[in-house]
Chains A and B, each alone.
Chain A
C-alpha cells in the first residue's frame, strides 16, 4: 500500500499541473481548446467551409479582424477599452477610398493618410481617457457615434462618386486581392504585425509598461512610469491598427457601404475577452487576441452560412460576451484560490526511525543544558541574525531582516553599526581570500561586499533546467555558501518553488525542490551543480580542496559533494538520520564540524510525511496557522567528525536565553549562535577550544596584504 503511494507521488505529474497553472500562457489553453472545438464542429458539419477558396477568403477576413481584435487587446491590456474601433475602421475605409478613387493619390500617400486619420481618432480617445481620465467605456462609446456620424455625412456626399470610379493601381489590387506564395497579402501583413506586437508586448519596454499600467495603475505610477502617456499611446495604436485593418478592407472590397464596421466593436470585444484578455487590464497577449479572433470569426461566418438571422446572431454574440466576461471576472477573483489548491503538491517521504535524544539514552544526542549559559550580544537591537561571521579584526557581522549587514565592533560587541545595505533578507555569509564578504540574499541572489562597503551583485540567475515549466533560472532563496580554495563559490538555493516567507509550503511538500549552484568568479558564470535536494541549507568546505558538506534540512541529513578530484560529481550521505532539521554547518577548531539543528523532528510530522494526501488536504482546507509544522523552536548544536560520526550535542531545553539556533560560528574559543527569528546573538565559552583559532585564518591563512 505504502509502496503504491510512493510510486504514485513519484511519477504522477500533479506538480506539473500546478506549475502550468502559474504560467500566464495557461490562460490560452481554454481559448485554444475553443478554437479546436469550433473548427472541429464546423468541419464535421460543412467540409466545404475549409476548401482552399473559402480558406483564402476567410484568411483575408481573419487578417482584418484579428488586427482589430489585437488593437482592442492592447487597449484592454493597459486597463482601458476602445469601442470606437468599428467606426475608425469605417472611417479608414472611406478615407482610403476617397484618396484612391476620388483624389487619385498614389498608394503610399493613401496608406499614410489613412493611418494618420486612425492615429488622430486614437489620439482624441487617448487624450480624453489618458490625460483627462474620463471613463474609457463612455468616451469611446461617444466617439464611436461621432466618428460614425462623420462617416455617414461623408457617405451621403461621396458614396455615389466613389462607386463610380475604379482606381488605376496594380499595387492597390495586389494589396486587396494579391497572393504571395499562395497566401493573401493582407494575411501575411497581419502575421507580420501580430509577430511584431508579440515581441513588443513581451520583450520591449513599451509592452512591459502597458502590462504594468494595466496590472496596477497606482503601482506603475509609483514606479515612475508615465501612466498617462502610456494610456494615451494605447489608444493611438488602437486607432492606427484599426485604420490599417480598414485599409485592407477598402483594398479588398472597394465599397463604401453604410453598414461597414457596424457592430464590429462588440465582435472585437467578445473576441478579445474570449481569447483571455482581461477586462480591467494587466492580463493579455497577442496570442490570446488572435485565438479569440479566430473563434468569433468562424462563429459569425458560420451563423451567416447556416442562415441565422442578424438579430439572433447578435443575441448569440451578446450571450457569448456575457459568458466570457463572467468567466473572466470569476476567474480573476478566484484564480489564486484555485492555484493555492493545486500548486502545493506534497510528496511521499519516509524518514528512518528517529534516534533517541533522551537525557539518559547515552546517544550523542542526549539532552543537556550546555547552552543555557550563553551570554547575549545586541539583545533587542537586531532582528533576524541568521548567521554570524567575523573579520580578521574580530568584528562580528550579521544580517537582519531589513536587508542590512550589521557590524558589532570588537572587542566587547556593545557598539554596532550598519555595515552595508543590500535588501532582501541576507542569509549565509562567507569571507573570501581578499576579505570580501560574500552574502547569499534570500529573494535576490549572491552578493559581495568589499571591505570598503561597496555592494556588488555577483549573480542572480543560473542556467534554466531543460523543459522546466516554472522559470528556475532566477534565484529565489539563495541560502548559504562557502568558497573553494580556487575562489569558486558554492551556494545552496533552498527551494525553487517558493519564496522565502513561504518556506512552510516547501516543508509541507518535502520534495526535492532545492539545488546547489556554483558561481565561478573567473568567468563570472553561474551553473547549477546538483538538483532535487530537500531544502539544501548549510554549506561548508571539508578542507581537502575538492569537496564540501551540505545539509538537507527537510531530509534530516548531511551530504558531502565532490566538485573536484577523483570523485568529482559524486554526492554521498555522511550523516543520514538526524533527530532534527540541520541548518548551517561550520568548521570547529579541532578539525571537526559544527552543525545547527534548527528544530527537532516529531513522530506526528514524520508520519505525515508518509501521507501526502493528508498534507494536501491540510494545505487546502485549513488555515496555515493550523498546519502540522516542522518545529523550529527547540534545537541544538551538534559536532560531527568528517567521517560523519556525531560527537556531541549542546542543548538549551528551556530556550530562555537563546530560543532558536540556525547557525553557529566558532571564533577564538567562543561559539557564537545565530537564529533566524531571534533578536539577539548568543555567545558561549568553549572549554577545550583553541583560544586563538579563527575560521578565517585557518582556511585562508594569515593576512595577505589585500587590506
Chain B
C-alpha cells in the first residue's frame, strides 16, 4: 500500500519537530480549549454552575456526533451539508409515527430506514452519478427539509409522546455521574476511531480522500466506499437527532435553517481535518468539538445576540478556512475539474 496511506499525515503539515516534542494543530486546539475553559470558569459567573455544564455537555455531544459524521465524509474528500436536515427530519419521522400509534421502537427503526434511504440516494448521486458532494448534499438537504415540512409533518415542532422515559434517558440520564449522551459520544468516537484506524475499509477512506484516482487504480472499490461514508454520516445524524430529541422531548425542524451545519464544519476544520481529504481522525473531532462547544456556550452565557453569534462564528470559520488553505494548500495535480 501507498506509504502515505499507511501513515496518514494528519499532522505532517503543521508539525514542527522540536526536541522530540510535536506541535500539531490538534494540540494547539486542545490547549486552547483547556485555557478557554479555565478562563471562562474564572471570568464568567454562570459558567461553572451544574445546569450550564449539563447544557454544555449535551450540546457538545450532539455537535460531536454530527462532526464525526462530517469527519468521515471530509476525510474521503467530500462534504455533507445534509447532516442537520437528515437529523431533524429523520427524528421527526419517528416522532410523527409514534404519535400516530406506532410503537416508539418501531418508529425509530422506520426513522433509521429513512436515514438509510437518504444516505443511499446521496451516495449514489456522489459516487455513481459523480455530482460534486457539495451540490448533492446541499440539494438533498433542501429536498429532505421540504419533504419534512410539506409531507411528513404539519408542524415544525413535534413533541415526543409521554411515558417514554427509556428514550428520554438517552438525553437526560447519567451513568456513573456522567451524562448518557457523553457516554454515547465517547462510545461512538471509539468505534469510529477503531473503524478508521484499524479496519481495511477505514484505510480505504483515507486512500480515496488522499487521491481518488490512485485509489481507483489500486483496486479499491471507491464507489461503494463513498456510499458507505454517507451511510455512516447518516447514522451519526440519526444518533445526534436521537440525543437532541431525548433531551428536549421534541424535535424542532427549524434547526435546519440555523447555522448548526457551519458549527459542524467549524469543528472539523478547526480540529485539523483538512478539507483536501485524506487526513485527520476522530481525535481531531474531539478536540475541535471541545473548543467550539466551549465557545458557543460562553457566547450564550455572555448574552451575545443570535445574529452577532453567527457573525462571530462565521468569521472564525472563515479564518479557519484561510488557515486551512495556507496549511493544506490544494494540490493542483489531484484537484479535479469541477472540484469547487
A145 CB–B CB distance under 8 Å: yes
A289-339 residues at the B interface, CB under 8 angstroms: 308-319, 321-322, 325-326, 329-330, 332-333
B194 CB–A CB distance under 8 Å: no
CA distance A133 to B340 in the complex (A): 10
Taking a contact as CB atoms under 8 Å apart, the answer to whether A321 and B275 are in contact is: no
Q: Which of B4-12, B232-240, B319-327 contacts A (4 or more CB under 8 A)?
A: B319-327
Closest partner residue, chain B, to A280 (CB atom): B338
Taking a contact as CB atoms under 8 Å apart, the answer to whether B315 and A322 are in contact is: no
A255-295 residues at the B interface, CB under 8 angstroms: 266, 278-281
Taking a contact as CB atoms under 8 Å apart, the answer to whether A326 and B143 are in contact is: no
CA distance A266 to B138 in the complex (A): 9
CA distance A146 to B311 in the complex (A): 5
Taking a contact as CB atoms under 8 Å apart, the answer to whether B338 and A142 are in contact is: no
* Residues of A contacting B141 in the complex (Cβ-Cβ under 8 angstroms): 318
B123-146 residues at the A interface, CB under 8 angstroms: 125, 129-132, 134-136, 138-146
CA distance A687 to B318 in the complex (A): 85
* Residues of B contacting A319 in the complex (Cβ-Cβ under 8 angstroms): 139, 143
Taking a contact as CB atoms under 8 Å apart, the answer to whether B259 and A145 are in contact is: yes
Closest partner residue, chain B, to A319 (CB atom): B143
B149 CB–A CB distance under 8 Å: yes
Taking a contact as CB atoms under 8 Å apart, the answer to whether B146 and A316 are in contact is: yes
B76–chain A nearest beta-carbon distance, Å: 16
B207-247 residues at the A interface, CB under 8 angstroms: none
Taking a contact as CB atoms under 8 Å apart, the answer to whether A153 and B311 are in contact is: yes
Taking a contact as CB atoms under 8 Å apart, the answer to whether A138 and B125 are in contact is: no
Interface string of B322-338 (1 = CB under 8 A from A): 10111001101000011
Taking a contact as CB atoms under 8 Å apart, the answer to whether A325 and B135 are in contact is: yes
CA distance A326 to B124 in the complex (A): 11
CA distance A399 to B132 in the complex (A): 48
CA distance A80 to B136 in the complex (A): 17
B116 CB–A CB distance under 8 Å: no
B262–chain A nearest beta-carbon distance, Å: 6
B1 CB–A CB distance under 8 Å: no
Interface string of A130-158 (1 = CB under 8 A from B): 00111111110111011011101100100
B141–chain A nearest beta-carbon distance, Å: 7
What number of B residues sit within 8 Å (CB to CB) of A? 48
A37–chain B nearest beta-carbon distance, Å: 21
* Residues of A contacting B151 in the complex (Cβ-Cβ under 8 angstroms): 312
Closest partner residue, chain A, to B333 (CB atom): A218
* Residues of A contacting B339 in the complex (Cβ-Cβ under 8 angstroms): 135, 280
A308–chain B nearest beta-carbon distance, Å: 8
Q: Which of B140, B325, B340 contacts A81, CB < 8 Å? A: B340
Known: A81-B340, A134-B321. A325 touches B314 (CB 8 A): no
CA distance A322 to B143 in the complex (A): 10
Taking a contact as CB atoms under 8 Å apart, the answer to whether B265 and A138 are in contact is: yes
CA distance A459 to B340 in the complex (A): 42
A218-235 residues at the B interface, CB under 8 angstroms: 218
CA distance A156 to B311 in the complex (A): 14
A327–chain B nearest beta-carbon distance, Å: 10
Taking a contact as CB atoms under 8 Å apart, the answer to whether A150 and B311 are in contact is: yes
B252 CB–A CB distance under 8 Å: no
B34 CB–A CB distance under 8 Å: no
* Residues of A contacting B330 in the complex (Cβ-Cβ under 8 angstroms): 133, 135
* Residues of A contacting B99 in the complex (Cβ-Cβ under 8 angstroms): none
Taking a contact as CB atoms under 8 Å apart, the answer to whether B322 and A132 are in contact is: yes
B150 CB–A CB distance under 8 Å: yes
B308 CB–A CB distance under 8 Å: yes
B307 CB–A CB distance under 8 Å: yes
B46–chain A nearest beta-carbon distance, Å: 25
Closest partner residue, chain B, to A318 (CB atom): B142
CA distance A150 to B138 in the complex (A): 23
* Residues of B contacting A278 in the complex (Cβ-Cβ under 8 angstroms): 338
Q: Which of B147, B259, B329 contacts A315, CB < 8 Å? A: B147
A188-231 residues at the B interface, CB under 8 angstroms: 217-218
* Residues of B contacting A146 in the complex (Cβ-Cβ under 8 angstroms): 311, 314-315, 318
B250 CB–A CB distance under 8 Å: no
Q: Which of B142, B325, B338 contacts A133, CB < 8 Å? A: B325
Taking a contact as CB atoms under 8 Å apart, the answer to whether B310 and A325 are in contact is: no
B278–chain A nearest beta-carbon distance, Å: 15
A632 CB–B CB distance under 8 Å: no
A20 CB–B CB distance under 8 Å: no
A323–chain B nearest beta-carbon distance, Å: 9
B299 CB–A CB distance under 8 Å: no
Taking a contact as CB atoms under 8 Å apart, the answer to whether B146 and A314 are in contact is: yes
Taking a contact as CB atoms under 8 Å apart, the answer to whether A149 and B307 are in contact is: yes
A702–chain B nearest beta-carbon distance, Å: 62
Interface string of A17-39 (1 = CB under 8 A from B): 00000000000000000000000
Closest partner residue, chain A, to B81 (CB atom): A141
A450 CB–B CB distance under 8 Å: no
A502–chain B nearest beta-carbon distance, Å: 24
Q: Which of A134, A153, A266, A329 contacts B130, CB < 8 Å? A: A329
CA distance A317 to B337 in the complex (A): 25
A455 CB–B CB distance under 8 Å: no
B317 CB–A CB distance under 8 Å: yes
CA distance A321 to B310 in the complex (A): 27
CA distance A142 to B325 in the complex (A): 14
A254 CB–B CB distance under 8 Å: no
* Residues of A contacting B134 in the complex (Cβ-Cβ under 8 angstroms): 137-138
A128 CB–B CB distance under 8 Å: yes
Closest partner residue, chain B, to A312 (CB atom): B150
B148 CB–A CB distance under 8 Å: yes
Q: List 22 A-B contacts (CB under 8 A).
A: A79-B337, A134-B322, A135-B325, A136-B340, A138-B321, A139-B318, A142-B314, A146-B311, A149-B308, A152-B310, A311-B146, A314-B142, A318-B139, A319-B143, A322-B131, A325-B135, A325-B136, A326-B125, A329-B338, A330-B130, A332-B338, A333-B130
B residues whose Cβ falls under 8 Å from a Cβ of A:
79, 125, 129-132, 134-136, 138-151, 259, 262, 265, 275, 307-308, 310-311, 313-315, 317-318, 321-322, 324-326, 329-330, 332, 337-340
Given contacts A135-B339, A322-B131, A333-B130, 11 further A-B contacts (CB under 8 A): A79-B337, A134-B322, A134-B325, A143-B318, A145-B314, A150-B311, A153-B308, A312-B146, A317-B142, A325-B135, A326-B125
4 nearest CB pairs, A to B:
A315-B146, A280-B338, A311-B149, A318-B142
